[in-house]
Structure 1
Amino acid sequence: MHNLTRVIIAGTVISTLALGASTPALGSPAPEKSQSTDTPASLSLPLKDEAQVWVAAHRGQWRDYPENSLPGILQASKDGAEVIEIDLKRTKDGHLVLMHDATVDRTTNGTGRVDDLTLDQIKDLRLREGQGNGPAPVTNLKVPTFTESLAAVEGHNVLLNLDKGWEYREQLMVELEAAGMVDYGLFKGAPNAEEANEFMAAYPRAQYMHIINDKQVDDLAEFTTHMPDAIEVAFNTMDDTQAQPEYLAAVEAKTDLWLNSMWNSVSGGYTDEASLRDPDLGWQALVDMGADVVQTDDVRMINAWREDVDVTAVGMKPSSVRVQAEDFLDDPDHYADSNDRNECAAGKAIRNLRSPVDACDLDGAHIVQYIREGEFFTLEVEVDQPGTYNLSIRHSADTEPGGTVTVDTGTGAGEPVPLPNTTHNRAFTVTDLGRYKLDKGTHKIQLSFTHPDYLSVDWLQLDRGQRADQDLIDMGITAP
C-alpha cells in the first residue's frame, strides 16, 4: 500500500454512543452526551470499518450518471467510495430532495427554485447527464428524495455525507430514524461551535462533521465537552492558518480529519488532477497531512491509486506514446489562435506567457485551454515502430455540443471527430480519433478544432491496438 499514514479505527467511540442506541425525540430534553474530548472521536461505517484512508465521492459518481442521482450513488459505492456526499434542498411542500443548487436549472430539464416547486412538480423533471452544464443531454432519471436515497444504500457499507442539509437537520434525523438508518448519515455543517455542541449533545447517535475554513479556525478550541466525529478542513493556500502542520495535527489528535481534492480553493492546490500528474502533488500529500478521508471528484482513479496502481500511466501500455498538449510546437507556423494574448488566469500559465496558445494550470491539470472555433496546434511525436496507430485525446468542455477535432498526421486532414460535452471544464474524458498509418520517425500531428465556446486538451496518445484501462480513464458519456 501507499503511505496511508492514518486509519479509521473501529471502537474508539465508547459503548454508550454505539450506533443503535436510542435517539431523543425532537424537542425532548437533551441527554448528557458521554463522549468527551478525552476520547478521540471517529467516524464509523454502518456495517464494518475499513483500515485505510477512506474515499468520499463528491456528488456521487457523476462521471457515469447525473450528480446526486440514485445510480450515481450506487456506482460510487461500487467504485470504492466509503462515503458519498449528497446535497439537500427542501421542496415547497416540505420534502427533502437531492439537489445542489437552489434552482433545478443546471441539472434538470426544468427551471425554478426548489422551494417554489412541489415534489410532484420536481418528479416530473428529468436529470441531465453529469453535472448538467451545456445544457447536457437529458436522461430518464428523476430527482430522488432523501428517503429514496436511504432505501438505495441500505445494506451497503457507506455513509451519506449530508451536505447543505444543516438547516434541515431535524427533518433529516426524523427520516433517518424512520428508516432505521441513523448510522448511515453523516451530518455536516459550519454553524458556530455552540450550535454544533447543542446538536451533538441532543443527538449522540448522529455522526457529525464540522467544517473549518478561514472564518472558523477558532472553532476547534470551542469543542471542550463534545467533539465532532470528523472535521473537514478547507484551505485556499498552504499559508492559511488551518493548513499549518500544527493545526492539522491538533485536529488529528482529537478526531478524524477530512480533506478535499476537488479543486484548488478547498485543497491548497493538492487536487485530483495534480494527483494524476504525480500523487505526491495531491492525494499522497493530503494523506501525509493526516487525512483520514479524502473527498474527490475522481473516485475510480483515487481508489486505483489506493490499491497501488500507477495512476500517472493509467490508459497506457508499454508501447503507448503520449504527448502532453502543453508541449505544442510554439511556432506561429504550427498553430492558430483567435487572439494574440495568453488567456491563462493570473499565475496559471505553465509555459510561455507571451504565446497566444493558452498552456494553463487548471486546478492541477496541465492543459491547453480556451481552444476556440478554428484554432489549431501541433504536437511533435516520435514513432519507434511503423504501423497503424489508434489516436486518442483527453479533453474537457462544458458546452453543448462539445465541438469537433480534425487530425492531420502530415498526409492530409481526416474527417472531423465529434467530441462530447463533459459537463464541466474540470471533467476530462478520452475520445478515440481513429486509426492512422505512421512511418518510423518524427511526426508533426496537427489538431484543428471547432467549438461554440471553448474546450481544453490534456494529451494526445498513440496506441498499437486498444488503449489500456478504459474503465478507469473514460467517462460514461457518448459523443453527440
Structure 2
Amino acid sequence: MRHPLKFTLLLAVLTTLAGCFRSNNTTASDPITHEGQTFKFSGVEDLYRFLTYAETRIPLVSAHRGGPAPGYPENAIETFQRVADKMPAIIECDIALTKDSVLVLMHDETIDRTTTGTGRVNQHTLEELQKHYLKDNAGSVTDYKIPTLKEALRWGGGKVIFTLDVKRNVPYQLVVDAIRETKAEAYSVVITYSADQAAVVHNLAPDLMISASIKHAEDLIRLNDRDIPDTRIVAFVGTRRPDRSLTDLLHQHGVMCILGTMGNLDRQAEERGNHLYAEFIENGADILSTDRPLEAAKALNFYAKKRGLFSPYID
C-alpha cells in the first residue's frame, strides 16, 4: 500500500461514520406471495438484511445478461427461468427504451446482433419489436421475443433478485415507476456507475437498493457525502481481483461486494478449474457476476455446504 498512514486515517473516519451510514428509514413493498419461490422476502427490509454482509452470508452468483446459453438468448425471461431453476440466482439484465417510451430488455443500442430485426431500439415501437425473434449468442434464432421490463419484474417475484443495468438515455424515473407498478422493490437492485448516478436513484427512491461502483475507499466517502446509507448499497468492485483492504473495509460497513468475473476471471476459472470461483469468495468477494453461472454456482454450492452456510431467506 503506497500511503498506509493516509489509509489508516481514512479507515478510522469511515468506521466512526458507520453508524451514520446505516439507516432504518424504509418504505416496504407489499409482501410477495408467489408459490414455489426461491427467495423468501416478505418486503424490502428482508432484502436489506439479505444483502448486508456477515461472515455467514451465502455467496451468490449473478448471471450476466441473464445467463445466456445455446438456445437461450441473453435478456430473455426463458433464459432467466432456466438459470433460476438451477440455483438461487441474481439476474443481471439490461434496460433500453423504445420509440414509444416502453422499457424493454436489450443490451445493445441496436437489435441487429440479438434479434432477427435491424435498427436502433429507440427507432422502433414495442409493437414493431415484437415482430422479431431473439437469437442466442451463436446467432441461432429462438422462439422467444424481446420482453418488457414490467413483464420480467412480474415474473421474477420470489424467483430471483434483479440487478438492473439502465442504459444511456433511459430515465431512472421510468425504471423506478416500473418497479413501483410491479411491486418489485423487494427483489430489485438498480445499477449505477458513479456517485452522482447513485444519488439520482436514491433521491427518486430512497428505499431501493443500489449497486454502486466502489473501487477505492474514497468512492464510499463520495456516496456518504450524498447521504446514501450503507443499507442501500452493494458494491461493484470491478473485474479484477480486488484489494483485500477494500473488501475488508466494505465488509466492516456491512456492504457486500460484487466481483465481475465475466471476461478474464471466467477464462482463468475455465482454464485452471472452477475452484477459482470459491477462491474469489474466500479472498473478499460475496457475489460473482459471471458468464458461467452454472459452473460458478456448483463451486459456490460446494463452498457453502463445506462451511455450513445457509440463509433463512433461501428455500
The answer on whether the counterparts of 1:207 and 1:229 sit within 8 Å (CA) in structure 2 is: yes
Distance 1:81 1:99 in 2: 23
Distance 2:200 2:74 in 1: 32
**Residue pairs, 1:76-475, within 5 angstroms:** 76-129=83-136, 131=137, 133=138, 136-156=139-159, 158-165=160-167, 167-191=170-194, 193-212=195-214, 218-224=218-224, 225-226=227-228, 227=230, 228-236=232-240, 243-254=242-253, 255-264=255-264, 270-271=265-266, 273-274=268-269, 277-280=272-275, 282-308=276-302
Distance 2:77 2:239 in 1: 30
Rate the CA distance shift 1:69–1:138 in 2: closer, same or farther, 3 A: same
The answer on whether the counterparts of 1:42 and 1:256 sit within 8 Å (CA) in structure 2 is: no
Tell me the SS of whatever aligns to 1:147. Answer: helix
Tell me the SS of whatever aligns to 1:210. Answer: strand
Using structure 1 for the length normalisation, give the TM-score.
0.49
Q: Alpha carbon RMSD of aligned pairs, Å?
A: 2.7
Residue in 2 that maps onto 1:54: 60
Give a deviation string over 1:200-240, Cα, whole Å, max 9, x none. 24422111111245xx774222122323420101145x5xx
Distance 1:139 1:195 in 2: 35
The answer on whether the counterparts of 2:274 and 2:295 sit within 8 Å (CA) in structure 1 is: no
- Structure 1 gaps of 5+ residues are 1-11, 22-40, 265-269, 310-480
Cα drift, residue 155 of structure 1: 3.5
Cα drift, residue 198 of structure 1: 4.5
Give the AA of the match of 1:72: T
Distance 2:132 2:49 in 1: 35
The answer on whether the counterparts of 2:60 and 2:300 sit within 8 Å (CA) in structure 1 is: no
- Structure 2 gaps of 5+ residues are 1-20, 31-46, 304-315
Distance 2:217 2:101 in 1: 34
Tell me the SS of whatever aligns to 1:59. Answer: helix
The answer on whether the counterparts of 1:43 and 1:230 sit within 8 Å (CA) in structure 2 is: no
Give a deviation string over 1:240-277, Cα, whole Å, max 9, x none. xxx3221222222221111121112xxxxx32652563
Tell me the SS of whatever aligns to 1:16. Answer: coil
Using structure 2 for the length normalisation, give the TM-score.
0.73
Give the AA of the match of 2:25: T
Q: Percent identity?
A: 25
Q: Which one of the candidate residues 11, 16, 23 is aligned to 2:25?
A: 16
Structure (1 or 2) with the larger CA radius of gyration: 1
Residue in 2 that maps onto 1:426: none
Rate the CA distance shift 1:289–1:275 in 2: closer, same or farther, 3 A: farther
Q: Could you say which structure has the higher strand fraction?
A: 1
Cα drift, residue 81 of structure 1: 3.9
Looking at both structures, which has the greater relative contact order when contacts are Cα pairs under 8 Å and sequence separation is at least 6?
Answer: 2
1:63 and 2:66 are equivalent in the alignment: no
